[in-house]
Amino acid sequence: MSKLKNDTLIRALLREPTPYTPIWLMRQAGRYLPEYNQARARAGSFLALCKNPDLATEVTLQPLARYPLDAAIVFSDILTIPDAMGLGLYFADGEGPKFERPLRAEWEIRDLTAPDPTAHLRYVLDTVSQVRRALAGSVPLIGFAGSPFTLACYMIEGQGSSDFATVKNMLYQRPDLLHHILSVNAVAVTAYLNAQIEAGAQAVMVFDTWGGMLSHAAFHEFSLSYTARVIAGLKREHEGARVPNIVFTKGGGGWLESIAATGCDAVGLDWTVDIGEARARIGARAALQGNLDPAVLLSSPAAIQREAGAILERYGLGNGHVFNLGHGISQLTPPENVSALIETVRGLSGSYH
Ligand code: CP3
């Protein structure tokens, strides 16, 4: 196993010393890049792009060709798991993800099984191995999955939603059915992330995009406890190297202590949280990743410098911070503003280490 030339991401996630604060961006490959839009047009659709390992590898590497990022993240989607379960994922133009067969009837829920990633998600594992080969040890590759709860949201609702009313209705009226789906999802997500680690992912991240819309009690019972099962089941080492993991709950600022208590290596923060306070609350229990408001990238280099500088300053001296946005990059982001952000973090962060 080749040694990484730039291991700042891995070291920061493990709270080890680094010469500067590493940076990568959620959704760093995507529609704000003209070369991404060209590749997607060649593939025919977003899903065809995900399912073609050559094109998915090309797109994964696009942001790294433009910017000195400290990590690559495999180009895929969290909804590959429910697609592999047979729910029929598709993307209607400009409308976001949808399922042909959302989970509604009790028998459909009882029939649900976790897919074998080496059979049904082979294309993702092939992309992971191809990207690893292409990176040749330059920077680490991050693998990812959705949280069991966030996947369940799409599987039950059948599409995105502003309130996920169908999911909440099941949560309050038939919690037994929701618990069954979540148990299957936890097994599926654990196997999928471990398969990505075996294929070459050097860190893994769980995206809990919708846990933050739950009540305090429901978040712990229906989202966090299943994310905790996933974390407990993950490989922590592969071929002699530690494989750190990150848990990101959008809207999870009130629950940072319980998220850290899952035993994850790092907690992802959205932009509503003060990162200095988050550090004080979590202490030595986990590293932190975040948390610039993605809207800052729509402004000017001067504003980007000020806002990114403020986050570095609020985190303060020492290790354990991975710079990122508080959610995915907007498709309206001017690509040159990403350069300004990375230069700022690279330029200012050395003095905190
Ligand atoms: O970070 C990266 O560069 C890796 C790629 C990545 C994508 N989706 C590619 C994508 C990652 C990490 C995801 C995760 C994902 N997907 C999440 C969790 C993170 C989050 O944003 O909260 C969720 C909820 C999804 C489901 C999903 N996929 C939605 C809701 C949408 C539509 C919204 C949108 O931005 O279009 C997608 C599509 C999607 N996934 C795109 C990309 C680049 C855009 C597709 C296109 O090219 O049209």
- The CATH number linked to 19 is 3.20.20.210
For a pocket test of ligand 1, which of 61, 70, 77 has the largest count of ligand atoms closer than 8 A to its C-beta?
A: 77
- Cα(328) to centroid(ligand 1), Å: 8
What's residue 1's pLDDT? 47
Does any ligand 1 atom lie closer than 6 A to the CB of residue 259? no
What's residue 94's pLDDT? 79
Please say if 27 is a catalytic residue.
Answer: yes
Does any ligand 1 atom lie closer than 6 A to the CB of residue 328? yes
Whether 353 is in a domain gets the answer no
What's residue 2's pLDDT? 56
Whether 26 is in a domain gets the answer yes
Neighbours of 136 (CB within 10 A): 8
Please say if 31 is a catalytic residue.
Answer: yes
Does any ligand 1 atom lie closer than 6 A to the CB of residue 30? yes
For atom 3 of ligand 1, the residue with the nearest CA is: 27
Whether 233 is in a domain gets the answer yes
Domain count of the fold of the chain: 1
- Cα(283) to centroid(ligand 1), Å: 31
Atom of ligand 1 nearest to the CA of 74: 4
Both structure tokens of 122: 């082979």
- Cα(76) to centroid(ligand 1), Å: 8
Atom of ligand 1 nearest to the CA of 29: 3
For atom 42 of ligand 1, the residue with the nearest CA is: 30
For a pocket test of ligand 1, which of 52, 78, 249 has the largest count of ligand atoms closer than 8 A to its C-beta?
A: 78
What's residue 92's pLDDT? 84
Whether 305 is in a domain gets the answer no
What's residue 93's pLDDT? 80
Whether 35 is in a domain gets the answer yes
**Residue spans of alpha helices (H) in the chain:** 8-13, 34-43, 46-51, 53-66, 80-82, 106-111, 117-120, 122-135, 148-157, 165-173, 175-199, 216-218, 225-233, 256-260, 275-282, 301-315, 335-349
- Cα(317) to centroid(ligand 1), Å: 33
CB 134 within 8 A of CB 67: no
Please say if 226 is a catalytic residue.
Answer: no
Cα dihedral 20→265→246→112 (10° resolution): 170
Whether 298 is in a domain gets the answer no
Does any ligand 1 atom lie closer than 6 A to the CB of residue 97? yes
What's residue 3's pLDDT? 87
Both structure tokens of 317: 């001296």
Catalytic residue among 66, 77, 123, 126: 77
Whether 21 is in a domain gets the answer yes
Atom of ligand 1 nearest to the CA of 77: 8
Please tell me whether the overall predicted TM-score, pTM, comes out greater than 0.95 for this model.
yes
Does any ligand 1 atom lie closer than 6 A to the CB of residue 96? yes
Does any ligand 1 atom lie closer than 6 A to the CB of residue 200? no
Sheet strand arrangement including 266-268: 72-73, 141-146, 203-208, 245-249, 266-268, 287-292, 321-325
User: Domain limits at 52?
Assistant: 8-293+319-328
For atom 46 of ligand 1, the residue with the nearest CA is: 46
Per-residue pLDDT of the chain in tens (353 residues, 90 and over written 9): 458 999 999 999 999 999 999 999 999 999 999 999 999 999 999 999 999 999 999 999 999 999 999 999 999 999 999 999 999 999 988 789 999 999 999 999 999 999 999 999 999 999 999 999 999 999 999 999 999 999 999 999 999 999 999 999 999 999 999 999 999 999 999 999 999 999 999 999 999 999 999 999 999 999 999 999 999 999 999 999 999 999 999 999 999 999 999 999 999 999 999 999 999 999 999 999 999 999 999 999 999 999 999 999 999 999 999 999 999 999 999 999 999 999 999 999 999 99
Both structure tokens of 245: 């993991």
Please say if 40 is a catalytic residue.
Answer: yes
For atom 47 of ligand 1, the residue with the nearest CA is: 46
Going by the DSSP 8-state scheme, the letter that residue 262 receives in this structure is T
What's residue 95's pLDDT? 85
Whether 274 is in a domain gets the answer yes
- Alpha-carbon distance 226 to 262, whole Å? 10
